[in-house]
Chains A and B, each alone.
Chain A
Amino acid sequence: AQSVTQPDIHITVSEGASLELRCNYSYGATPYLFWYVQSPGQGLQLLLKYFSGDTLVQGIKGFEAEFKRSQSSFNLRKPSVHWSDAAEYFCSGGSNYKLTFGKGTLLTVNP
């Protein structure tokens, strides 16, 4: 079955530290992959997407993600976290119209 897994439910980092949020997918073929961010009381905002081509994709707010076929992973990274990055992050994937979302990773940023 198609699935997206985010192994970390909650991550805490200090402001200025680097960040990596993990995402693993299970699809028969390479899916379209996305990272979304959700602030409290808000909808999901697209950070970046991967369809094909260059496996390192750049997104908004200084985020990037790398598609690794051998590891079935699409991890989200940011070199220096800001307090405003505190939110919940969702990885999602789809091979057609239907996106499957991970359970989300809640990011807390300590001052």
Chain B
Amino acid sequence: DAGVIQSPRHEVTEMGQEVTLRCKPISGHNSLFWYRQTMMRGLELLIYFNNNVPIDDSGMPEDRFSAKMPNASFSTLKIQPSEPRDSAVYFCASSYNYVYTFGSGTRLTVV
């Protein structure tokens, strides 16, 4: 089992550019989560999918953020336009029966 796979591992982009983060969950896991980790705010849940359907997006900071899960094996988190305050580590996690498995994260730097 390869675990939860995120890409890219690192992303440096200029303010105003579009950024797309990708996630492949573990096969058979029916829930997928996107988290953001910063020193100031810790781990924050951005959005939760269950069976590919967005259930709770109350953590998405603003309309610049969007997430999709077109099928059970792929999800994207998009920021458009990006801003320096979006710099953080973004984690994807999938779960089955409340046991979460996290990916290694994408470190995003917006300059």
Chain A contact residues, CB within 8 Å of chain B: 32, 34, 36, 41-46, 49, 51, 90, 94, 97-99, 101-104
Pick the contact of A43: B4, B48, B50 (CB < 8 A).
B4
Q: Which of B14-22, B63-71, B80-88, B101-109 contacts A (4 or more CB under 8 A)?
A: B101-109
B31 at the interface (CB under 8 A from A): yes
B42–A45 contact, CB under 8 A?
A: no
Residues in B with CB closer than 8 Å to A41 are: 104
Residues in B with CB closer than 8 Å to A43 are: 4, 91, 93, 102-105
Given the contacts A97-B31, A98-B48, A98-B56, A46 and B43 also touching, CB distance less than 8 Å: no
A98–B45 contact, CB under 8 A?
A: yes
Residues in B with CB closer than 8 Å to A98 are: 45, 48, 56
B12 at the interface (CB under 8 A from A): no
B100–A46 contact, CB under 8 A?
A: yes
A to B CB contacts below 8 Å, 15 in the list: A32-B98, A36-B102, A41-B104, A43-B91, A44-B100, A46-B100, A49-B99, A51-B98, A97-B56, A97-B95, A98-B45, A98-B48, A101-B43, A103-B42, A104-B42
A44–B42 contact, CB under 8 A?
A: no
